[in-house]
Chains A and B, each alone.
Chain A
Amino acid sequence: MTTALSTEDAAGIAERYDPVIGLETHVELGTASKMFCGCPTTFGAEPNTQVCPVCLGLPGALPVANAAAIESTIRIGLALHCDIASWCRFARKNYFYPDMPKDFQISQYDEPLCTDGYLDVLVEGKTFRVEIERVHLEEDTGKTLHVGGATGRIHGADHSLVDYNRAGIPLVEIVTRPVFGTGALAPAVGRAYVTELREVLRGLGVSDVRMEQGSLRCDVNLSLSPAGSGVLGTRSETKNVNSLRSVERAIRFEMGRQAQRLDAGERIVQETRHFHEDTGVTTPGRSKEEATDYRYFPEPDLVPLAPDADWVERLRATLPELPAQRRVRLAAELGATDFELESMANAGVLELVAATAAAGAPAAEARNWWLGYLAQKANEAAVEAADLAITPAQVARVIALVEDGTLSTGLARQAVDGVLETGADVDAVVAERGLVRVSDVDALGAAVDAAIAAQPDVAAKIRGGKVAAAGALVGAVMKATRGQADAATVRELILQKLS
């Protein structure tokens, strides 16, 4: 059965229920070779061309752990403020499934490599601390193709085809603790967490974090408890939520679905559900009641990991500035308020504003350009601001020309348009298009006389003391001079000539 989409918004639901979210994220590491063998990890290769006795689970083959994968995992743990285990083991997670060559997954059970960290995310000016329960290392599975029956669905398929190229690619699992107190912001916080996590991972350079290619995959847990009750509700685990937008949609949908059931006095079954990108709906999968007993036990083919302090500190020294730290620093440098900071971050222009300021422009001006005219231009072109054909240095130059009075705001925008259109440099565009503001009286005199001659009635009003009417003449002069005239000077001239 599928639930009809609840039309009620998160805010409404949050008045009756406290949503509690939890996220399990799987990240494929960007190592050259797989977790336990020397096969390549390249995406999109011909099926079963990146396999060997180890990742095919051939009889007799043995795993040997990839040092780079271990180090990446420790670095992720450190970036998420985790404790790094001084001794831990891999474990076998036993269950039969054709995409798992050994019919067990080498993972970590009660001895994860990293534990007890956190990641702060900023939503609507509020900081939410998402606690990380564990970060552990495991191996990815192969890919199964379902043939016949409904398109690509396992249900009703006639048979399936398995490709083991992905089997054995190092997979880091990052599990949060339940996140309380997000209320109506639950969907936004969920999305912000994954967005922030992706930034952290990208900064570390440990994965290409391509959600569309499955190198970053999300499971979203959600439960509702009666507002203020503090009683944990039964949670659903929604699998394959594979875009930032879907994280938000899946949480919103589950809030609606669970609220509907609870409102109707029904109970929520603890189950695995599947998110459907196309419809935005989740549907039930295997319910936990009948889940198999994984019979975890220490992997006898791998010896324990014992990262000593030196090793961990050496890795800590390789950590780049983390997005949060960087934001705080930039905010300080730009003298931005939390709100301005968030709006710049959300618009994806924080780095651009910082670079523009670094190129000599006043921070406020830089922010105004990137959040204003340039954001609008990016919008029109349907691209990220960062992808506009103008550099922060060029924007800084435009701002400088306005500051020194060479360009009016209107001319500055024309200059920006020119750069965007031709890719030429600011000064070149200004020269070529003759974008200079004219303030010399003789040069303007003729244009002013012409404007007065063209509108005698307006001129008469001004002579009669209706100074406000001057605007019409100023506009005419500006038009005649293609915006290059300095409005203030023109106005002065008009008033002189008509007094």
Chain B
Amino acid sequence: MTHAAAERGARPGARLTDARALDPALVAIPADPDGDAALLQRLAKWAGRWSPLVEVDGDGLRLDVSGVAHLFGGEEGLVRDIRQRFARLGLTARVAIAATAAAAWALARFPSPQRGEGDSAKLSGVRENKADRIGRTPSPYPLPAGERELVSALSVLHVSALRLDPDTVRTLERLGLKTIGALMDMPRLALARRFRGAEDVVDALDRMLGRKPEPLTAAPVDLPPRALLKLEEPATHPEAPGQALERLIPELVRQLQERRLGARRLALVGYRVDGSVGVASVATAIPSREPKHLLRLLADKAAALNPEFGFDAFALTAEWTEDLSAAQDSLVEEPSGERDIARLVDRLSVKLGPQRVRRPQAKESHLPEQASGWVSALHLPSPSGEGRRGGVRPNGLNARERASEAASSRFIRHPPPSPSLEREGMRPQRLLDRPEAIDVIYATPEGMPRRFVWRRAVHDIARAEGPERIAPEWWRQPSSARLRDYYRVEDGEGRRYWIYREGLVGDGRGEAPGWFMHGMFG
């Protein structure tokens, strides 16, 4: 509902026909709760420019601005800044800063008679000094001077500003307790006895006056290292993100150094003037805080950020960090070249996508296509060495233990696994992603294949070895899965293939067994 509509007599909750009767020129737009919620979510991200702790709270936003306001010229400056920026988006914001979340909520939504502002509620700011409040003896209302004003501002508000459910509000009204002030004058014990249950009036009152903490949910305990750059003028030129990055990285690296951390994932967030954000993020294989490397990783992605109407602030955050002791960023290169490899993996993964740059990780499976699993090289910095060759790897470790095993082996050189001779040449170097059906001529259905047709070319089998029988994994596959008999075959020109017959004649799991081409030997 707009100001203009309100002036002409429209009221929330009124029927459309009643409103039209008052003024036929009224334009009705259907409500879009989903769209509103999505907008609110987007605005919550954007509001990260004022404070790192933002929460969507019903139909408004809640910001914890403790220790933030001085960056914007005091609390008045902060409120002005928030108002102005929302006004530029074409939104009217109702902003309130108070010592407690509940008080700010009430002040933003319930205009007191003397202030008398009537606009659509959207935002409430919160200044919380939680440490101050917890553990104090509850004498009647021991408030410092600034908060006496708060109490006087709150006491004129209607009781519904306590965020109680309508039934409780109605009961309170019937008892003649219309304002919060009237409620505050009541003896606590009487109130507590009268209103027992989930919607406790005393609780709500305590929250509002800060005698009971009401923390923002999902507030990260340990804030990630973050560097912020605010611009005087919105930057619309495409080089802006890159230039901002060059100024932000030294600051971030300084913070990482102080906390002895290395970045595993970085995000550059550009705040646009129109209230949207552009994000460029990269991940690294080993923790790093080397400015050159980080700049090189992010530069391409940052350059791809579209300024649209212009950026007016940038924030570079190390979203995921790991411990990195001071010794490791010395100038001396590790002899194993581990770090070179990690940097190579970083660059490849950034450009091509982490799902395209992978390392093998053996899995517990007899099926060849499942035994050779692949994991993103970012997640598995180096293989843990032993027992990786061919077939099953007896491994009772769970995923986390395996990861820590991989991590601990990062700086220990394992000797390369020695290929055991009896397995030599038993597995092909290449495997088709999907086995291809072939036509096979054989002497007997259970016997050796003689000749096969693959991709419309005939291959005469000169020599063959097999079968190597691989039974279906009954604990994982459906009961209709058939066993496979693998043969290593060599055709007349010496090309060696790995083919298999799926099923047996009369195994009761389908029709005549089919033959498939699965791999090639080198």
A binds B: no
Q: Which residue numbers of A lie inside 8 Å of B, CB to CB?
A: none
